[in-house]
Structure 1
Amino acid sequence: MQDDPIDPFVAHRRLLFGTAYQMLGTVTDAEDVLQDAWIKWHEVDRDSVTHPKAYLVRTVTNLALNRLTSARATRETYVGPWLPEPLLTNTADAAEETEMADTVSTAMLVVLETLGPVERAVFVLREVFGYSHAEIAGFLDRPEATVRQISHRARSHVHARRPRFDTDPATRTDITDRFLAAAHGGDVNALMELLAPDVTLWNDGGGKVTAARRPLYGPDHVARWILGVLAKPVLTGVRLESAQLNGELGVLVLLGDFRVGALTYDIRDGHIENLRFQVNPDKLAGIQPPSATE
C-alpha cells in the first residue's frame, strides 16, 4: 500500500492494525483487512467524510467483524489447538505505539477468543482504545444502550477469565535465560524446576507440521516433550533466542536463518505456568524480519 504520508489512513495505520489484530488474533487477517479498508478509503468521496479517523476505525471494525464471523466456522474444524498468531514487538519507536495501546499479550488474545464477534469488537474498542459507548454505537450501527450492555457483559466475561500474572521484567528475563540454557543443554531437571506443578503446553501446528494435537500437562511430560522435539534429527542445528513477542519476553525458534516457531508463556510465583508454542507456518508472518515479508 503506497500513499502520501499525511494521508489519514497512513497517519492512523497503527491504530487500524491494532484494532484488526486484536479482534482477529492473526497478523495475516489483520493485514488483509487493512488492504480492504485502504481500497474502500480510496474509493470514497473524501468530501463526504467529516471525521476520517472515525470513518477508518468504523470501516476496519466492520471488515474485521465480517472476517471474524466467517473465521469461527473454519476454526471449528481446525486441526489441534488454535492459538493466535505471535507478533514481534521489538520496535525502536515503542513510544509511538501509544495510539495502538500496545499489542495485547497472547494470553489476553486467547481470552478474547471466547467472546462473540460483536462482544470482542466492543471490548477492544472500549477497553483497549478507550472509545466511548456512543462512538462505538456509531461504528457498529447499534443503539448506545445496547452497546453499554454488550460492553458490561464482555468486560465481566474477560475479567473472570483474564490471567493475572504480575512478573517484573527482571524476573521474566532471568527465567527466560534459564529456560534457554536448560533447553540448549538438554537438562530435563533444570527445565522441570522452571515449570509450575500445573503447567500446560499448547502446540499449534494447524495440521501443517507435526505437533501435539492435545494439550500437555505436568512438568515431567512438558519438559520431556520440549527436549524430545529439540533433539529430533530434522531439527539438527535448531536454536532458541529470546525476543519481545506480543509485548512480553518470549522465545523464537530458528532453524538456520529461518524463524520456524514462537513460544510465549505466563509466569506466576517464579515458575512458567502456561506455554503456547506456535509452529504453524501459515501463522508466523508476524515474527519474520521486515525483509522476509516485503
Structure 2
Amino acid sequence: MAAGLGFKTFNTGDVLSAADVNGYLMQGVLVFADAAARDAAITSPQEGQFAYTKDTNGLWYYSGSAWVASGATGDIEGVTAGTGISGGGTSGTVTITNSMATAIDAKGDLIVGTGADTFSRLAVGTNNYVLTADSAEATGLKWAAASSGGFTTAIFHDAKSDTTAGGTFTSGAWRTRDLNTSQFNNITSCSLSSNQITLPAGTYQIWGFAPAFNVNRHQARFYNITDSTVTILGMSSYTRSGANAQTGYASIQGAFTIAGTKTFEFQHRCETTGSSNGFGVSADLGSGEIYAQLTISKVA
C-alpha cells in the first residue's frame, strides 16, 4: 500500500494516474509514519477523515477541528499470569483464565484481601448476620449475629400470691433472697434456678433492692457461689423494730467482670430476726406481692 498523499476532491474530466489510485482512492484509512507526516500531507482535513500513524500504532479521525485518537492504541504483545490469572503467551492465541470467576460461585459471595497480596472468597453469611471486623480471621472479616444495641438485660424478682408475706428473716448469717420469676431475660446463657443466677463470661452492671421489716440493721450483697467471693456489697441499711417497726430497703449497685460462667445469689443479712414478714410485708391489694428485685445488664 502506498503512503497517503492526502485528501483530494477529483473533478469531472480529471485523468487518474496509478499514483492517484494508490495514494488517494485505495486508502479508506491513510497511513503515515507519524503525526507530522500526516499533518504535512493533509493540510485541509475533512470531518470524518481517518488516518493511521505507524509510530504509535494509532488510529485517528478528524472531528472537524482537530485530529482525535479513536480509542485505545497499541498491540497486546504478551500476557503475564499473576494473582487470580493463569495462562498467557506472547504470540498466537492468548488464553487467560481468571480464577475469581470460578471462586465466586454463590449469590452474596465476597472477594476480600488476606494482607499477603492474595485474595480469598468469603462465602455469603447466614440471613440477618452482619459483616464484622475480626483480626483473628485470615481475611480480617467474618459474618456474625448482630449485637442487640450494645447490652442485654435480665430482670428477676420474688413474686408471691396475694396476702403472702415475704417470709421470716433470721439473723446471724447471710440469707438467700427468693428469686423465683424471670420477668425479662435476653442475656444469652443466663438462667435462674432455685434462687441462683448463672451468668456467662462478660462484664455486667447490677441493681438490686430487697425489703426488710422489723430487723434493725441490715445489708444485701451479690455473692459468687462458684468462687465463694463477694461480688457486690450493698449499702448499709436500717429499719426500726418493735412496736413502731417499719419497712426499709437494702440495695446493691455496681459493675463486675467474670472470665467464665459463674453462679450467684442475692443475699441479705440482718441484726434482729423478723418473723413471718421480715423479708417484707404484704400489700394485700389483690394484685399479688413482689419482694426482692434484681436487674442485671451485660455490657460487654
TM range (shorter): under 0.3
Structure (1/2) with the larger strand percentage: 2
Q: Which has the larger radius of gyration?
A: 2
Structure (1/2) with the larger helix percentage: 1
Q: What's the TM-score, normalizing by structure 2?
A: 0.16
Q: What's the TM-score, normalizing by structure 1?
A: 0.16
1 or 2 for the larger relative contact order (CA 8 Å, sep ≥6)? 1
